Amino acid sequence: MNTNSDRVVLAYSGGLDTSVMIAWLKENYGLDAIAVLVDAGRASGLEALRQKALDVGAAEAVVIDARDEFARDFILPALAANALYEEKYVLVSALSRPLICKKLVEAAGSHGAGTIAHGCTAKGNDQVRFDLGIRSLAPSLDILAPAREWNMTREQAMEYAAERGIPVPLKKDSPYSIDENLWGRAVECGPLEDPWLEPPEDAFAVTVAPSAAPDEPAYAEIGFEAGAPVALDGKKLPLVELIDAVDALAGSHGFGRVDMIENRLVGIKSREVYETPGALALIQAHRELEDMTLPRELLHFKRPLEQKFAVMTYNGGWYDPLMDALRAFMAETQKRVTGVVRLKFFKGSCIVAGRKSPNSLYDFGLATYGGEDAFSHDAAKGFCELWGLPLEVWARKNKPKKD
Ligand code: ARG
């Protein structure tokens, strides 16, 4: 192992596994853990979790508030790309992992650690994102993934913890595995492993059931500047606050639940449940504004690249040079994506109720069927004639011979 010190930076979440890892890394590798907890939004009780890491034997424990950076450097480019994996998943976890990697690598540098450890298991995508992210940013650091090595069940981990005086969860464990940040909430495991079973209500935390949503619709006007959401109902808001506000409103109207069968990179089809009201509403509004402000060829060229962007992100390729190129392309397309989109939330749905932009390419005179029609009807006949010419030539040549 290429450690240049006896210190390891651990991606610490405060849960049972990463707490146990602090002791395990010492016992199995003789490494002192520096627990790093990265706050990418929606985290709570952070100081208590930091203290817990110290109590269970971490040499140091730090909490890094990375919410603004997450919003600016990860969510915004993803929104510019309308990034949805398999057309449904807004990449909650996939976007946060490269941010966490960046923070871990920075911490390894400042604490003189030669190794980074993360808590991912062997079956998920997150291990890929951590491993690739760390290797992209710091190829000479060693990577340890204790949960990939130790093969402990939940019960064994609890036993291991109890033997070493590490506090174990007292109340009955939630059956779910949850990952949460500013861009949404991912829920896996427990009863959700049966794809035929409708997700129980207790799987959800930030959306109400559509049937329990208010009987009156709510409207939200999202103001964008150069592709970035900057205002809600005419009021300028910092990005993190704006995302939180849209999330709360959309979720309170039962919008944003996703239940899907997802293709993991490691070859498993998995049943995933997401609550991503704010992210989905913002992507919908953003895409709508693009439809109004981007010319046809650019728009049609961009859409398939958005899928590539999402797949690359999902598969742990955030720091791949292709992503730099895709981000540059997306950024170039956003320059004129400025305007306001009016969303309407009602009983689990979100629809676009209106859109306007100083850069709108919608031309009333060209579009109207009324008296102000400015479209050149005369030109249309010749246009059709030439546009259809190759088809006509083909048809003449290939038409079935009658005589
Ligand atoms: N399936 C999603 C993904 O791969 C969510 C993962 C959630 N992660 C977790 N550790 N619970 O991005």
In terms of domains, do 206 and 260 share one? yes
Write out 89-104 in H/E/C secondary structure: ECCHHHHHHHHHHHHH
Among residues 316, 379, 392, 259, the alpha carbon closest in space to that of 137 is found at: 316
The CA 264 to ligand 1 mean position distance, Å, reads 9
In terms of domains, do 16 and 154 share one? yes
In terms of domains, do 348 and 378 share one? no
Shortest-distance atom of ligand 1 to CA 124 = 4
Residue 121 lies in a domain: yes
Query: Which tens digits make up the pLDDT trace of 294-321?
Result: 999 999 999 999 999 999 999 999 999 9
Residue 402 lies in a domain: no
Q: Which of 13, 50, 126, 185 is catalytic?
A: 126
In terms of domains, do 332 and 391 share one? no
Query: Which tens digits make up the pLDDT trace of 360-381?
Result: 999 999 999 999 999 999 999 9
Active-site residue, 97 included: yes
Query: Which tens digits make up the pLDDT trace of 184-203?
Result: 999 999 999 999 999 999 99
Rounded to the nearest integer, the mean pLDDT of the chain is 96
Query: Which tens digits make up the pLDDT trace of 132-142?
Result: 999 999 999 99
The total number of structural domains that make up the chain:
3
Could you list the residue range(s) of the whole structural domain that residue 351 is in?
179-356
The CA 182 to ligand 1 mean position distance, Å, reads 14
CB within 8 Å of 250: residues ≥ 6 apart: 207, 220, 256, 277, 278, 280, 281, 343, 345, 350
Active-site residue, 185 included: no
User: Which single residue is written with the structure tokens 């030539």?
Assistant: 393
Q: Check which CATH number belongs to the domain holding 230 and give it.
A: 3.90.1260.10
The CA 180 to ligand 1 mean position distance, Å, reads 9
Mutate to test the pocket of ligand 1, among 74, 129, 179, 313 (most ligand atoms within 8 A of CB): 179
In terms of domains, do 113 and 192 share one? no
Q: What is the C-alpha to C-alpha distance for residues 317 and 334, in angstroms, rounded to an integer?
A: 22
The CA 270 to ligand 1 mean position distance, Å, reads 10
Let me know: does 149 contact 162? Beta carbons within 8 Å.
no
For atom 2 of ligand 1, which residue has the closest CA?
93
- Residues 223-243 as b/e (b if ≥16 CB within 10 A, e otherwise) read bbeebbbbebeeeebebbebb
Residue 217 lies in a domain: yes
How many of the other CB atoms lie within 10 Å of CB of 329?
A: 15
Mutate to test the pocket of ligand 1, among 95, 126, 192 (most ligand atoms within 8 A of CB): 126
How many of the other CB atoms lie within 10 Å of CB of 394?
A: 10
In terms of domains, do 159 and 188 share one? no
Q: Check which CATH number belongs to the domain holding 93 and give it.
A: 3.40.50.620
Q: Which of 131, 154, 175 is the last residue of a domain?
A: 175
Shortest-distance atom of ligand 1 to CA 188 = 11
Shortest-distance atom of ligand 1 to CA 120 = 10
Q: What is the C-alpha to C-alpha distance for residues 359 and 336, in angstroms, rounded to an integer?
A: 6
Shortest-distance atom of ligand 1 to CA 270 = 1
For atom 10 of ligand 1, which residue has the closest CA?
179
The yes-or-no verdict on residue 171 having pLDDT over 90 is no
In terms of domains, do 39 and 115 share one? yes
Which residues have CB under 6 Å of ligand 1? 93-94, 125-126, 177, 179, 186, 188, 262, 272
Strands 184-188 and 257-263 come out as unpaired
Question: What is the structure's pLDDT at 245?
Answer: 98
In terms of domains, do 124 and 221 share one? no
Shortest-distance atom of ligand 1 to CA 264 = 4
Structure pTM?
0.96
Let me know: does 260 contact 88? Beta carbons within 8 Å.
yes
Which one has a higher pLDDT value, 158 or 296?
Answer: 296
DSSP state, residue 74: I
Q: Which of 122, 147, 175 is the last residue of a domain?
A: 175
Residue 1 lies in a domain: no
Active-site residue, 373 included: no
How many of the other CB atoms lie within 10 Å of CB of 301?
A: 12
Rounded to 5 degrees, what angle do the CA atoms 36, 41, 43 make? 65
Residue 78 lies in a domain: no
Q: Which of 97, 129, 327, 336 is catalytic?
A: 97
Among residues 117, 93, 98, the alpha carbon closest in space to that of 11 is found at: 117
Residue 261 lies in a domain: yes
Residue 208 lies in a domain: yes
In terms of domains, do 200 and 344 share one? yes
Which one has a higher pLDDT value, 154 or 6?
Answer: 6
CB within 8 Å of 68: residues ≥ 6 apart: 238, 239, 240
Active-site residue, 17 included: yes
Dihedral (CA of 166, 171, 174, 180) sign: negative
Residue 361 lies in a domain: no
Using only the alpha carbons of the chain, give its radius of gyration. 25
Q: Which of 55, 177, 252, 291 is catalytic?
A: 177
With a pLDDT cut of 70, the percent of the chain lying above it is: 98
Q: Which of 157, 175, 193 is the last residue of a domain?
A: 175
Q: Which of 17, 142, 179, 244 is catalytic?
A: 17
In terms of domains, do 256 and 274 share one? yes
Distance of CA 192 to the CA centre of its chain: 20
In terms of domains, do 55 and 96 share one? yes
Which one has a higher pLDDT value, 401 or 258?
Answer: 258
The yes-or-no verdict on residue 403 having pLDDT over 70 is no
The CA 323 to ligand 1 mean position distance, Å, reads 21
Arithmetic mean of pLDDT, 157-171: 87
In terms of domains, do 50 and 129 share one? yes
